[in-house]
Copies of this chain bind each other. A is one copy, B any other.
Amino acid sequence: MPVRILIYEDNTNLRESLVGLLELTGEYNVVASFPDCQKVSEQVHALTPDVVLMDIDMPGINGIEGVKKIRGFNKDVQIIMLTVFDDNTHVFDAMYAGANGYLLKKYVSDKLIHSIREVLNGGAPMSPSIARMIISNMQQPAREAGNDYQLTNREREILQLLSKGNSFKMIAAELLISLDTVRTHIKRIYDKLHVRSQIEAVSKAINEKLV
């Protein structure tokens, strides 16, 4: 039986083109298409689609909120974002929300059919620039230029223990040194990181991947 597809897209022309394009293949059955996400939960429940195509910029509830709603009760339906946004915020928010793919509208005519096939096969179709954004995000700093605070090994070790939630006492016990020694190390760490408290240090350590 054909793959059931549900479309959210507020632009009427594009919405109808998508329906036409997909129906033409014979492989896909567009069970419905809507210009907004207001009733997304009911609709997904009622229509049991295999794949949802979701625009981001829609009146009322945007597509990312729509994805969150769907994921609130359904982890299985495949969701492909279909949008003009290629900035970090939108891409990552959509992915965090639970989208399975992210296709820029300029590639729709070329890649949509292929992407639907890919997402159904357990893939994660993404426009090339999106894929690159995601992997660059993983690669990030890792102690590059700006965030080299010249911590010694011992200091890094202590910062690590601190970041895992250990108190000074626990660190002292763990490393078999005195509480005052821990204090001294911590003081030096604060100096080097330019912070004034545990939390600032831990927050900085985690965010800048020092640990």
Contact = CB atoms under 8 A, between A and B. Distances in A.
A201 to B, nearest CB: 8
B138 A95 contact: yes
Given A163-B199, A195-B165, A203-B202, A131 B124 contact: yes
A122 B128 contact: yes
A114 B54 CA distance: 27
Given A167-B199, A195-B165, A131 B126 contact: yes
A206 interface: yes
Contacts of A165: 195, 197, 199-200, 202-204
A149 interface: no
Interface residues of A, number: 37
B134 A138 contact: yes
Copies in the assembly, this chain: 2
Interface string A162-202: 11111100000000000000000000000000010111101
A153 to B, nearest CB: 16
Contacts of A132: 100, 122-124
Interface string A109-132: 000000000100111111011011
